[in-house]
C-alpha cells in the first residue's frame, strides 16, 4: 500500500492503491509507519509523498463512508501527523489530488506538481464537505473567495493555476519524482517549516460570505453541505485554526449521515455501474469509430452531430433540402458561437469543429461512415424507408442507429439484412447539452455494437445506460405514467401550479406542467392520440387535451397551461383555470384541496411503480440504472439519489400503501421487496450475484 524508498537523505513514500489511490484502509497505516521511520532516522532530511500509477490520492475511500468512525481510515490523524512533522514534507502531485488527497498535500510543508495535474475539493458533490482540514487550510492559501468557489463548485483547478495561487510551490517539467527530490533537497534545511495552519486568511469580508449564502439558494437549493462549508470557511477567517479544525469534524459527520449524502454517494457508484453491461466481458472487441453520419439536421440531428464534433470526430450530416441543411448548420454554428461568447470555446475551436462537419443532400455520402445515426421525423414508415436505404449503402460493419424516442427498434432492425448492427441511441433534447444517452439494445444487437456504443458514450461525455425495447424504453415510459397521475391530480382539485410547486419543493427544477409547456403540449397530445389509436380507444379528451385544442401549445406559442412573460416565468392563466373547472363540472367531479405531501407521494409513487415493472421485465438491468436515467434525463434531484433510491429512503412499504390508497396496483416486484423489508439496492445486489453464478 505505501512503499518506502530511500534516495540519499530523502525518504519517498509511494502510495499504491489502484486505480485512483483512494485513502483506503492500509494507506494511513503505511503513511504513519513511513513518517515515524523518517522522524526517527537522523539520516533522513526530508520526505516526499507521491502516488503510484496514474494519480496522486483521489480522496477518501467513499466506500468506507458507511463504516463506524473507529473503523474508517484515519485521514485526520494522518493530516495531523504531517502538520506536526519535524522535517520538510513535499507532496508530489500528478493526475488528480482531490478531496482528502489535496488535504494531505495541504498538510505537507510544500507541494509540487506536473502542469496538467488537477487539484480540487469535490466533497460537495457527495453531499459532504472537506473533512480533513480542507475548509481551514484552503482559505489560508488561496483566500476566502477562491476557496469558496472551489469548495462549493467541487470543480478542480489545473496545477498551473494552483501555482499562480500559491497552492503549488513549483511546477515540475519532466520526471515528477526527480523534480520532487531536487526540490526536497533545496528545502531540506529551511526552518521554520512552513505550516498553512499558522497563516491568516486573505479577503474574508462578511460580504463575501453573505454573497455565497445568497448564491447557494439557487445553485444548491435544498442542500445541506454547502451552507456548512460556508460556515466553516468563515470560521477559518474569524476563529483559531484548532477551533475550525474541531468544528469541521463535527459538521462533516452531520453531512455524512444526511439522506442527501447517501443519495449522492449512491449516484456516484451507480453511475459507474451503469457503464458496465451485465454479461459483457471487458474483453468484448470494440469497433473503431472514425467517421459519423447523421441523417436529419433538425434540433435533434444538429445537437447529436455536435457531440461528435466536440470529440474531434468528423460528421457528415444529411438533409433532404438545401434550406433545411443551411438552417441546421446555422443552428450548430450559432450554438458554438454562443459558447465562444461565454468563453467556453475559442474562435479557433469553433472553426475547427465546423471544419469537421460535412453537409450533404445525398445519403450515398454516408457509405464510408462507421456509425450512422438517424434523427428524422418520429414516424415508423419514414424510419423503415431510411433503414432500408442505409442497409443498401452503408459499409460492412457500420453501426446503424436510430434516435427514436418511443418506436420499436426491433421493427426498424427487421427491415435490414444486418439487425445485429442496429441499435437505438436515444439522445435527450438539447442533445448537445443533456448528459443522458439511453442505449437501446434490440433483440439482435451484437455485443460488439453494444459495447462500442457504451464506450462511445463515455468518449462524447454522455452517461450511457443500456435499456430494452418497449414503448418509451425507460425514461419516457416512466414520465408517461407520471404525467397521467399529474393530470389526475388536477382532475381531482389540485391546480397545475400546486402540482409543480410540490415537485419544485422536492428538488425538481421543473414540475410536470412546467416541463410539458416547455416541451410543447402538442408533442404529448400526439403521443396520447397515437397510444389511444393503438389501443382502439376514443380520442383523448382530458382537460390538457382541451387546452391543446384551443391552440395554446406552451412556451413556443407564448402560452399553454401557463402564460409566459419575457423572462419565461410561468403565470397561471384565468381562462385555462376556468377550462379546468368546467371540465371537472362536466365530469361531475367535486374538486378538493390536495396537499403537497399527497402530490409528492403520488407522483414519486407512480415513478417508482413503473420503475419496478420496468425492472421486472428486464427493460432496465438495475434499479440504479433507472436512477441514473431519471436524474440525468428528467431532472430528479441528484441528492435524492433517483426515484428508486428515494423509495428506499421513504420505505418501500410506505410506497406500496400510498399506491393502494390512491387507487393504483403496486407492481409485484415492489410488493415483494416491501414484504421482505428490502430496498431496490438489495434487488440489484441479488441480481448481480445471480448473474455471476
Residues annotated as part of the active site: 103, 123
Task: Kindly tell me which of 217 and 272 has the beta carbon lying closer to ligand T1G.
Answer: 272
User: What DSSP designation does 421 have?
Assistant: G
How far is Cα 693 from Cα 634, in angstroms, rounded to an integer? Answer: 35
> Is residue 313 a contact partner of residue 287, using CB atoms and an 8 Å limit?
no
| Element spanning 2, H or E | strand 2-7
Options 7-15, 124-132, 197-205, 383-391: segment touching ligand T1G (CB under 6 A): 124-132
Nearest distance from residue 642's CB to ligand T1G, in Å?
Answer: 17
Nearest distance from residue 65's CB to ligand T1G, in Å?
Answer: 7
How far is Cα 233 from Cα 144, in angstroms, rounded to an integer? Answer: 7
Three-state DSSP class for residue 413: helix
Task: Kindly tell me which of 461 and 509 has the beta carbon lying closer to ligand T1G.
Answer: 461
How far is Cα 644 from Cα 530, in angstroms, rounded to an integer? Answer: 29
Within 13 Å, how many C-alpha atoms sit on residue 340's CB side? Answer: 14
Nearest distance from residue 579's CB to ligand T1G, in Å?
Answer: 50
Q: Is the dihedral of CA 680, 686, 689, 693 positive or negative?
A: negative
Nearest distance from residue 229's CB to ligand T1G, in Å?
Answer: 11
How far is Cα 445 from Cα 442, in angstroms, rounded to an integer? Answer: 5
Nearest distance from residue 256's CB to ligand T1G, in Å?
Answer: 8
Nearest distance from residue 63's CB to ligand T1G, in Å?
Answer: 5
Options 8-16, 54-62, 204-212, 322-330: segment touching ligand T1G (CB under 6 A): 54-62
526 CB contacts (<8 Å, ≥6 apart)?
A: none
Residue in 548, 546, 578, 568 with CA at minimum distance from that of residue 560: 548
Task: Kindly tell me which of 126 and 490 has the beta carbon lying closer to ligand T1G.
Answer: 126
How far is Cα 538 from Cα 535, in angstroms, rounded to an integer? Answer: 9
| Interface with ligand T1G, residue 244, by CB under 6 A | no
Please report where in the chains the cell 361531475 appears, as a residue. Answer: 588
Options 95-103, 185-193, 577-585, 673-681: segment touching ligand T1G (CB under 6 A): 95-103
Task: Kindly tell me which of 156 and 483 has the beta carbon lying closer to ligand T1G.
Answer: 156
Choose which of 127, 134, 512, 624 interacts with ligand T1G (CB under 6 A): 134
Which three-class secondary structure string do you get for 163-214? HHHCCCCEECCCCHHHHHHHHHHHHCCCCCCCCHHHCCCCCCCHHHHHHHHH
Choose which of 10, 61, 497, 498 interacts with ligand T1G (CB under 6 A): 61
Task: Kindly tell me which of 59 and 293 has the beta carbon lying closer to ligand T1G.
Answer: 59
Options 129-137, 193-201, 357-365, 434-442: segment touching ligand T1G (CB under 6 A): 129-137
How far is Cα 355 from Cα 451, in angstroms, rounded to an integer? Answer: 29
How far is Cα 108 from Cα 127, in angstroms, rounded to an integer? Answer: 26
**Interface residues for ligand T1G in 251-310 (CB under 6 A)?**
269, 272
- List phi, psi (to 5°) of 288: -90, 110
Within 10 A of 497 (CB to CB), how many other CB atoms are there? 19
# binding residues, ligand T1G (CB under 6 A): 25
Helix, strand, coil content of the chain in percent (nearest 5):
55, 10, 35
Choose which of 28, 73, 122, 559 interacts with ligand T1G (CB under 6 A): 122
| Interface with ligand T1G, residue 69, by CB under 6 A | no
275 CB contacts (<8 Å, ≥6 apart)?
A: 454, 457, 458, 463, 464
**Interface residues for ligand T1G in 412-451 (CB under 6 A)?**
none
Choose which of 3, 6, 63, 388 interacts with ligand T1G (CB under 6 A): 63
- List phi, psi (to 5°) of 453: -70, -35
Nearest distance from residue 179's CB to ligand T1G, in Å?
Answer: 22
Task: Kindly tell me which of 18 and 677 has the beta carbon lying closer to ligand T1G.
Answer: 18
Task: Kindly tell me which of 59 and 328 has the beta carbon lying closer to ligand T1G.
Answer: 59
| Interface with ligand T1G, residue 22, by CB under 6 A | yes
What binding mask, one character per residue, do residues 497-516 give for ligand T1G by CB under 6 A, x or -? --------------------
| Interface with ligand T1G, residue 226, by CB under 6 A | no
Nearest distance from residue 341's CB to ligand T1G, in Å?
Answer: 29
Options 57-65, 169-177, 218-226, 523-531: segment touching ligand T1G (CB under 6 A): 57-65
Angle at CA of residue 398, ends 397 and 402, nearest 5°: 135
Choose which of 128, 208, 329, 508 interacts with ligand T1G (CB under 6 A): 128
| Interface with ligand T1G, residue 103, by CB under 6 A | yes
Task: Kindly tell me which of 272 and 654 has the beta carbon lying closer to ligand T1G.
Answer: 272
Within 10 A of 284 (CB to CB), how many other CB atoms are there? 17
Options 19-27, 108-116, 469-477, 651-659: segment touching ligand T1G (CB under 6 A): 19-27
Nearest distance from residue 487's CB to ligand T1G, in Å?
Answer: 40
How far is Cα 336 from Cα 338, in angstroms, rounded to an integer? Answer: 5
Residues in the chain, how many?
Answer: 693
How far is Cα 95 from Cα 116, in angstroms, rounded to an integer? Answer: 7
| Interface with ligand T1G, residue 130, by CB under 6 A | yes
Helix axis angle, 512-519 relative to 496-506, nearest 10°?
110
Choose which of 99, 263, 296, 301 interacts with ligand T1G (CB under 6 A): 99
Nearest distance from residue 23's CB to ligand T1G, in Å?
Answer: 7
Residues in contact with ligand T1G by the rule CB under 6 A = 19-20, 22, 58-63, 75, 96, 98-100, 103, 122-123, 126, 128, 130-132, 134, 269, 272
Amino acid at each position: 500500500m505505501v512503499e518506502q524508498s530511500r534516495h540519499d537523505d530523502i525518504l519517498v513514500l509511494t502510495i499504491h492503491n489502484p486505480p485512483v489511490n483512494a485513502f483506503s484502509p492500509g494507506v494511513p497505516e503505511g503513511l504513519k509507519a513511513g513518517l515515524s521511520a523518517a522522524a526517527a532516522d537522523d539520516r533522513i532530511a526530508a520526505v516526499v509523498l507521491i502516488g503510484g500509477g496514474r494519480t496522486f490520492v483521489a480522496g477518501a475511500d467513499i466506500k468506507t463512508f458507511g463504516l463506524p468512525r473507529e473503523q474508517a481510515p484515519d485521514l485526520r490523524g494522518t493530516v495531523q501527523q504531517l502538520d506536526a512533522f519535524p522535517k520538510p514534507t513535499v507532496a508530489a502531485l500528478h493526475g488528480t489530488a482531490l478531496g482528502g488527497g489535496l488535504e494531505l498535500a495541504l498538510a505537507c510543508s510544500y507541494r509540487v506538481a506536473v502542469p496538467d495535474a488537477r487539484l480540487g475539493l469535490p466533497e460537495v458533490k457527495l453531499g459532504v464537505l472537506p473533512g480533513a482540514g480542507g475548509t481551514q487550510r484552503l482559505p489560508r492559501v488561496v483566500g476566502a473567495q477562491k476557496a469558496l468557489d472551489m469548495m462549493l463548485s467541487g470543480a478542480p483547478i489545473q496545477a498551473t493555476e494552483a501555482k499562480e495561487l500559491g497552492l503549488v510551490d513549483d511546477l515540475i517539467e519532466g520526471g515528477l519524482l526527480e523534480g520532487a527530490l531536487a526540490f526536497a533537497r533545496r528545502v531540506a534545511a529551511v526552518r521554520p517549516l512552513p505550516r498553512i495552519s499558522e497563516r491568516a486568511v486573505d479577503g474574508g469580508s462578511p460580504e463575501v460570505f453573505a454573497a455565497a449564502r445568497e448564491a447557494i439558494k439557487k445553485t444548491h437549493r435544498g442542500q445541506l453541505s454547502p451552507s456548512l462549508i460556508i460556515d466553516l470557511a468563515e470560521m477559518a477567517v474569524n476563529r483559531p485554526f484548532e477551533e475550525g479544525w474541531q468544528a469541521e469534524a463535527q459538521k462533516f459527520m452531520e453531512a455524512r449521515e444526511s439522506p442527501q449524502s447517501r443519495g449522492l454517494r449512491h449516484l456516484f457508484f451507480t453511475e459507474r455501474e451503469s457503464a458496465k453491461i451485465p454479461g459483457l466481458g471487458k474483453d468484448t472487441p470494440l469497433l473503431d469509430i472514425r467517421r459519423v453520419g447523421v441523417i436529419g439536421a433538425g434540433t435533434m440531428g444538429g445537437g447529436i452531430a455536435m457531440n461528435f464534433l466536440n470529440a474531434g470526430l468528423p460528421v457528415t450530416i444529411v438533409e433532404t433540402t438545401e434550406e433545411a441543411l443551411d438552417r441546421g448548420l446555422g443552428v450548430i454554428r450559432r450554438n458554438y458561437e454562443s459558447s465562444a461568447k461565454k468563453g467556453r470555446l475559442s474562435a479557433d475551436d469553433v472553426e475547427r469543429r465546423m471544419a469537421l462537419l460535412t453537409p450533404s443532400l445525398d445519403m450515398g455520402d454516408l457509405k464510408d461512415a462507421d456509425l450512422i445515426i438517424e434523427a428524422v421525423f418520429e414516424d415508423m414508415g419514414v424510419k423503415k424507408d431510411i433503414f432500408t436505404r442505409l442497409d443498401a449503402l452503408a459499409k460492412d460493419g457500420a453501426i446503424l442507429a436510430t434516435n427514436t424516442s418511443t418506436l420499436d427498434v426491433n421493427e426498424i432492425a427487421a427491415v435490414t439484412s444486418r439487425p445485429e448492427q442496429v441499435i437505438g441511441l436515444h439522445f435527450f433534447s438539447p442533445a448537445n447539452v443533456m448528459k443522458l444517452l439511453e442505449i437501446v439494445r434490440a433483440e439482435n444487437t451484437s455485443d460488439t455494437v453494444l459495447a462500442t456504443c457504451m464506450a462511445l458514450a463515455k468518449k462524447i461525455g454522455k452517461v450511457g445506460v443500456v435499456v430494452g425495447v418497449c414503448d418509451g424504453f425507460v425514461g419516457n415510459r416512466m414520465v408517461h405514467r407520471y404525467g397521467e397521475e399529474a393530470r389526475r391530480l388536477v382532475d381531482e382539485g389540485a391546480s397545475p401550479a400546486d402540482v409543480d410547486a410540490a415537485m419544485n419543493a422536492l428538488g425538481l427544477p421543473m414540475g410536470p406542467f412546467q416541463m410539458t409547456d416547455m416541451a410543447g403540449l402538442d408533442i404529448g397530445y400526439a403521443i396520447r392520440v397515437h397510444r389511444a389509436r393503438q389501443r382502439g380507444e376514443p380520442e383523448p379528451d382530458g382537460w390538457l387535451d382541451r387546452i391543446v385544442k384551443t391552440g395554446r401549445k406552451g412556451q413556443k406559442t407564448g402560452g399553454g397551461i401557463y402564460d409566459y412573460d419575457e423572462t419565461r416565468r410561468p403565470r397561471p392563466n384565468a381562462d385555462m383555470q376556468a377550462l379546468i373547472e368546467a371540465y371537472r363540472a362536466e365530469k361531475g367531479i367535486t374538486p378538493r384541496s390536495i396537499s403537497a405531501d399527497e402530490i409528492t407521494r403520488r407522483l414519486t409513487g407512480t415513478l417508482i411503480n413503473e420503475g419496478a415493472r420496468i425492472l421486472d421485465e428486464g427493460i432496465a438491468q438495475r434499479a440504479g440504472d433507472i436512477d441514473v436515467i431519471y436524474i440525468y434525463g428528467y431532472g430528479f434531484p441528484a441528492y435524492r439519489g433517483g426515484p428508486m433510491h428515494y423509495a428506499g429512503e421513504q420505505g418501500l412499504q410506505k410506497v406500496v400503501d400510498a399506491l393502494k390508497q390512491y387507487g393504483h396496483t403496486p407492481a409485484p416486484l415492489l410488493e415483494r421487496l416491501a414484504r421482505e423489508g428490502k430496498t431496490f439496492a438489495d434487488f440489484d445486489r441479488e441480481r448481480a450475484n445471480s448473474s455471476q453464478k
